Structure 1
Amino acid sequence: MRLYLAVAAGGFRRYATYGTATAAGVFTNTVFGFIVAYTYIALWDERPGLGGYDQAQALTFVWVSQSLLAAGALIGGGFQETFQERVRTGDIAVDLYRPADLQMWWLAADLGRAAFQLVGRGVVPLVAGALAFQLALPADPVRWLLFLVSVVLGLVVSFALRYLLGLAAFWLMDGAGINLMAQVVTIFFSGVLLPLTVFPGGFGELVRVLPWAAMLQVPMDVLLGKHSGAGSAAGALGFQAGWACVLLGAGRLLQSAATRKVVVQGG
């Protein structure tokens, strides 16, 4: 465990060195937040209560989502491109020789990255949104604690999905195409564009049980009090934990198949 904590700390420090990139990301998230916020205001003026949210809750969804975009790699980024490049060049052999579990190593590193992004790129946009708009941020510390647990589970689900993308490079070699498709799917099905609760009927029920919902929609509903009861909160966190276990297990199986076929020139 100490090894993986050190790996996570290394991931945090690595991204902390990119001050200019972080500042640019904060600016981008803040500007994009204002654009989406005014779009939501116009939409909720026409359709009050859309998706079960009032306007203040909808604006809260916007600004808290902006604080989670980089951490969850919801619009790209993360470790998978580096992983795929290491597979392509053969450097993955170094990772396999380490006295550490491959999946746990990359999970620890990605959680360290996400922790920095939460602080470095998440705080300023949220503060800017809270100053400019009336948000429905809760005063209950228990709800914030549940939200934090939900965010961590969402980050694990995000990692697990992206780990499958990384492993696909053992067969595809070039992951650009699958990364692009996965990014589009994530943006739509996680709730980045619109809360998943606005989708009606059977389609809405379907998208809310897919793993992408665990990455953003569920944490936001926990924060906004949609899972306020103990049983409801446990169900929401259990939903995330269940998908995390399923996807990590799938990654473990695919990793086993991938490492049986890896061939590195010269060894």
Structure 2
Amino acid sequence: MYTAVAAGGFRRYATYRAATAAGVFTNTAFGIILVYTYLALWDEKPHLGGYDQAQAVTYVWLGQCLYATLAIQGGGVEKDLMERIRTGAIAIDLYRPADLQMWWLATDLGRSLFQLLGRGVVPFLVGAVFFPMALPTDAGTWAAFLVSLLLAMVVSFGIRYLVALSAFWLMDGMGANQVMMIVGIFFSGMTLPLNVFPGALGEVVRVLPWAAQIQMPADVLMGETGVAGAFAFQAGWAVALLAAGRLVQSAATRRVVVQGG
């Protein structure tokens, strides 16, 4: 059943072809701008954050590839879930013979897969063709990267699901979404690799769940971290976030009132 739900999520986003094409163009354009910004920065500070220029370029294009895939600024299923909570339609979801969290996770994984293939691959290939990138040549590293990417998708969902559940108390998710957007951009490493952050700040941001989204898959792809340790870090946060979501969901659904009952 959840496979069918994921397939439905994939098909839903596949219908927005013009939006997908616009997203490909936007991510490619921003990627080019960021690459030249990074190159200028790495010219001044070679091996900043432990990366050489090719690795810095790879990080840029991977970030553009995963921007929509992981819904770094939101815009995934949490928007729909918040709206259903606001209107009360969430009551219908609770009557379904399916687990609420697993249903939305499957939907979001379908969305993520489409965004990866439909919007993320092309900018990444543009980067690989026109800029020097530090890409692995062995299949094992690519396979490890794909596992890391799947874990990143689950972590991303876990964060956004918790934010969406806040609508049970706030009723309007605009403020929570804005906070999530700002925090996501900063702590995920979309602006700069988390390896660049200095001192205590760097130590903190590298152990937060957002580090599991871009920084960890990037380091796995470029061989900058141990695969087992990366998987443990991401899986640990995935389990913790899903468990927290389960607890908040249990508390939140007690607030659901339908027809005064």
**Length-normalised TM-score, structure 1:** 0.96
Out of 242, 248, 251, the position equivalent to 2:245 is 251
CA offset at residue 190 of structure 1? Answer: 0.6
Aligned to 1:236: 230
Aligned to 1:196: 194
Matched, 1:9 2:7: yes
Partners of 2:26 and 2:260 in 1: CA distance: 45
Aligned to 1:93: 91
The CA RMSD measured in Å over matched residues stands at: 0.8
Aligned pairs for 1:33-182 within 5 A: 33-182=31-180
Q: Tell me the percent identity.
A: 67
- Asked if structure 1 preserves the Cα contact closer than 8 Å seen for 2:73 and 2:180, the reply is no
CA offset at residue 82 of structure 1? Answer: 0.9
- Asked if structure 1 preserves the Cα contact closer than 8 Å seen for 2:57 and 2:133, the reply is yes
CA offset at residue 240 of structure 1? Answer: 0.3
Partners of 1:172 and 1:76 in 2: CA distance: 17
Partners of 2:259 and 2:139 in 1: CA distance: 55
Partners of 1:84 and 1:264 in 2: CA distance: 17
Q: Partner letter of residue 7 of structure 1?
A: V
Aligned to 1:264: 258
- Asked if structure 1 preserves the Cα contact closer than 8 Å seen for 2:144 and 2:220, the reply is yes
CA offset at residue 251 of structure 1? Answer: 0.3
Q: Partner letter of residue 238 of structure 1?
A: A
**Length-normalised TM-score, structure 2:** 0.98
Task: Tell me the secondary structure at the aligned position of residue 207 of structure 2.
Answer: coil
Q: Deviations over 1:137-157 (max 9, x none)?
A: 111111111000001001100
Q: Partner letter of residue 167 of structure 2?
A: A
Aligned to 1:18: 16
